[in-house]
Chains A and B, each alone.
Chain A
Amino acid sequence: MKVIAAMSGGVDSAVAAARVVDAGHEVIGVHLALSANPQKYRSGARGCCTIEDSHDARRAADIIGIPFYIWDMAEEFHEGVVSNFLSEYSAGKTPNPCLRCNEKIKFEAVLKRARAMGYDAVATGHYAKLVSSESGPLLYRANDEGKDQSYVLAVLTQEQLSGALFPLGETVKTEVRKEAQARGFSLAQKPDSHDICFVPSGDNAGWLRDRLGSEVGEIVDEEGAVLGSHKGAYTYTVGQRRGLGLTVPADDGRARYVLRVEPINNRVVVGSREELAITEISGNDVKWCGPVPEKGEYRGLAQVRAHGKPLPCTYRWDGAKLSASLDAPLFGLAPGQALVVYEGERAVGSATIEWTQ
């Protein structure tokens, strides 16, 4: 096969690229430039997107012995990921940009370009497994439970997955680091990246305030009593307890949590932990990363956060929406996050959460 290895400059994608070469494919390394004005050097806990990172990726490509190019995807990234991130937050939702990046950039814009240019697949350093079946590739959790990224890949359709390679799915991260070391990659000890790659400071709330403004509003309880004020409702997330700065203590003296963010009247509603409990989740924008199931009700597992626990549930597909009834209540779930349903280790499909109760 002819393969484009997406190389961020981190350990995982470098080892993934090397493995695709070892498997006998014709490979070129591509670093995605996602910012029109990339920073020169890394700062904070990030592993991509600076000029230094593209240099690291290039050095790994040199060692592997593959051509290396930088593809400018800044516009696509801004449109598909950053703008979406902002509009979701300003609508009071909590989006997952990594998921959007996989859906719109890596396995959409990049894969499309790769295919047009005569390449068959895009290889990345994601921790997930693809298993072939009669219906096409199926997405499974990685062997390394702690690193499993099937959740952020469950937005991909089978058509997209048929152009994806995840060479690290069966390996644990510690082994990947050892392999990077053995291959002579200077980036072998580079720290894992977390945080959101386009928020260099790691200060998500500050970043949002700079872009969406910081209109002061009320923090209220379910009865509408004003308990404090905030600087920008969208910087709060359902389930959040810290940083509320409430001036009126609760009658029972117990901690209060964000129950809802109401962007239209710029209010943040807080309440007790019990009030956070939900068992019903409903989402739209449904994607099936395996064969599309018949309409109906199924038993499975629901996951609602990147590294959240799989929760036993009954899920329903009515042809437009995907909903799940959890066996046990869950505390604090924000609209905008992704609901991913699994059958055992297999990711079945995903939806963007619209409402919970």
Chain B
Amino acid sequence: MESAYLDNAATTAMLPEALEVMYRESGSVGNASSLHGAGRRARRVVEESREKLAAAVGAKPQEIIFTASGTEANNLAVKGLYWRAGASKRAIVSTPIEHHAILDPLEWLEREHSVTLHMAEVDTHGTTKVDSIAQSLSEYQKEISFVTVMHSNNEVGALQPVAEIAAISREYEIPIHTDAVQSFGKVPLDFGKLGVSALTISGHKIGGPLGVAALVAKKDLELTPLLHGGGQERDVRSGTLHTPAIAAFATAAELSQQRLQINADRIRSMRERLINGVTAAVDDVRINGGENTLPGIAHFTFAGAEGDALLLLLDAQGVQCSTGSACSAGIAQPSHVLIAMGMAPKIARSSIRFSIGTTTSEKDIDKAISVISEVVSRARAAGVR
């Protein structure tokens, strides 16, 4: 059975060019921190990649801190900024729709370090209310160590007003971080112009390899390290640099930037095709995320059907998608994003996310459309608990 992979927001296929670089570099010996010839060669690859990546994200090369995952970069931002801020700054401003890689470190700080979290309000589309952030900043400015607001939501795809929020944060001289893992390579993203202090991007969401990401951070932004060791990255992040992955990440980043508009147009038209097809085939379906979304995320709520059942039945037909949120035991919980958007838990459980990538074809979309009606009616027959 031919399958349609529509879970590109979870991870997407590597670009052939990135794979080629990864393979080539994996065959070369050399630790980028060594002083001899092999080390210098690896160092050169790392630094050239850093320059490429910086150019792709509108940053200076010195602002790139390589990490092993987006989760690590987010943890470095959250804990690193908090620990650096000093004893009087015991509050953080964020949103309830962040990825778990932000939310969980925030909640950990709340639990273990008695940090106060000021979580902004979001509207029914999953867009953060700027006013709500502005109010927290004005009210608690003296206590706030930093602000973190995602650039776009990974579940429903809603783009967030990060530039506006950054402008307000700057007025209060409070650092602001944004998790841009889903946005990078999909919508225009320029670190300098956005006006944030730090930003997270990841390799495997843009056709680069797994196991490499970066925290882009202004040179003067002080961060307490999470990992102590060789101090390879600005003394903020330790660990031998993964030269092949870094090189492939940079290649993927460069190509994603070059092809951004073409890819975005193509992917958005497939999203529309999917939404039109699904709404024509199924009654009582709601599309989440509002008007201003990432090009590739189509998030649906099928009232009366359980996300789990939809996923299983689609999988059995070769259509691969996601319910968006999963806990460690693999037991689906209603998504915290949808709950924050004001959805009732029962309705939230009835949702699935399709995410379209550069390797998605119209055939994949049509396959999903061709099975959706039967899948939804079967899942509806099974009901929601």
Contact = CB atoms under 8 A, between A and B. Distances in A.
B86 interface: no
Interface string B313-332: 10110000000000011111
Contact of A69 (B312, B381, B385): B312
B329 A67 contact: no
Interface string A114-135: 0011100000000000000000
A28 B312 contact: yes
Interface string A45-65: 000000100100000000000
A195 interface: no
B342 interface: no
A161 B381 CA distance: 21
Contacts of B383: 113, 116
Chain B's interface: helix, strand, loop or mixed, by majority? helix
Given A67-B315, A75-B385, A113 B309 contact: yes
Contacts of B286: none
Nearest to A112: B382
A38 interface: yes
B329 A69 contact: no
A153 to B, nearest CB: 24
Contacts of B329: 33, 38, 51, 54, 70
A144 interface: no
B382 A113 contact: yes
Contacts of A117: 309, 312-313, 378-379, 381-382
21 contacts: A33-B329, A33-B330, A33-B331, A67-B312, A67-B315, A67-B316, A69-B312, A69-B330, A70-B329, A70-B331, A71-B308, A72-B308, A74-B331, A112-B382, A113-B309, A116-B378, A116-B381, A116-B383, A117-B312, A117-B379, A117-B381
Contact of B378 (A33, A67, A70, A118): A118
Contacts of B332: 72
A246 B129 CA distance: 70
Interface in A103-118: 112-113, 116-118
A88 interface: no
Contacts of A67: 312, 315-316
Nearest to B383: A116
Chain A's interface: helix, strand, loop or mixed, by majority? mixed
A67 B308 CA distance: 13
A76 interface: yes
A70 B332 CA distance: 9
Interface string B284-324: 00000000000000000000000011001101100000000
Nearest to B309: A117
Q: Shortest 8 CB-CB distances between A and B: which pairs? A: A116-B382, A116-B381, A70-B330, A72-B331, A113-B382, A33-B331, A117-B382, A117-B378
Contacts of A70: 329-331
B375 to A, nearest CB: 9
Interface string A63-98: 000010111101110000000000000000000000
A65 to B, nearest CB: 14
Interface residues of A, number: 18
Interface in B366-385: 378-379, 381-383, 385
Contacts of B382: 112-113, 116-117
Nearest to A30: B312
Nearest to A75: B385
Contacts of A69: 308, 312, 330
Contacts of B315: 67
A76 B312 contact: no
B299 to A, nearest CB: 21
Contact of A54 (B308, B313, B330): B330
A167 to B, nearest CB: 21
Interface in B319-350: 328-332
Interface string A219-248: 000000000000000000000000000000
A75 B330 CA distance: 16
Contacts of A28: 312, 316
A75 B306 CA distance: 15
A119 to B, nearest CB: 10
B377 to A, nearest CB: 10
Contacts of B312: 28, 67, 69, 117
Contacts of A118: 313, 378
Contacts of A76: 385
B324 to A, nearest CB: 16
Contacts of A72: 308, 331-332, 385
Contacts of B381: 116-117
